[in-house]
Structures are given as structure tokens and as C-alpha cells.
Amino acid sequence: QVQLVESGGGLVQAGESLRLSCVASGSIFSINFMNWYRQAPGKQREWVAVITRGGGTNYADSVKGRFTISRDNKNVVYLQMNSLKPEDTAVYYCNADLGHLGHRWGQGTQVTVSS
């Protein structure tokens, strides 16, 4: 089993930055990709960014150039969010893609951006 715990959310003003962290524990060797998703009030959960086991990254168009996904050499994945906008307000979730074993989700961390 894999467990994920997010942290780093908060309330910021437009234009400011936040860094989210996701700590993975358990059978982390089974993780293929790590993703960040977000869900705004009244909207569907949307994919934000991915980092592969080999370090490749990709981003949703809405955050490209502002957000950066990275990881340490152990078990932490980060989402650096710069130039935040009110439309970035959402609960942000860490997600582990375990291939045929499915997915695991964290509990989410709230990010609120005021205008």
C-alpha cells in the first residue's frame, strides 16, 4: 500500500507563491508517476501536473510556465506555484499512479488565492 500526505496549502494574494509537498510512504517502489490534481468548488477534479519515475514532467496549459513539479531523491513530490491567480483556488490532491495496482490519493490541501 501507498499512503500520501499533502501539505503547504494556505491563503495568499494574487501574484504570490506557494509550495505544496506530498510525502509518500509504504510501497513507494510501485509508483510509476506522481500527479497533482485540483478541484475547485462546483467543478470536476482536473489534472495539473505529472512527474515520471525518470523525472520527465508535463503540465496543464492553465498552469504551464507558472507551476513546477519536482521531487527529492526519496519520497517527496513538490508543486511550486508562482504568479497565483484567483482561478487557482482549489483543493489540491497528490496522486500516485501504481499501474495495474490502480491509484492512490492524498487527503488534499486547500489553496485560496484572493484578488
Total Cβ atoms within 10 A of residue 23: 17
The dihedral region occupied by 53, where left means phi > 0, alpha psi between -120 and 50, and beta the remainder, is alpha
pLDDT tier at 25 (50, 70, 90 boundaries)?
very high
Q: Are 71 and 51 in contact (CB under 8 A)?
A: yes
Q: Are 93 and 36 in contact (CB under 8 A)?
A: yes
C-alpha grid cell, residue 97: 499512479
Residues 65-99: pLDDT tens digits? 999 999 997 899 999 999 999 999 999 999 999 99
Residue 102 has pLDDT above 80, yes or no: yes
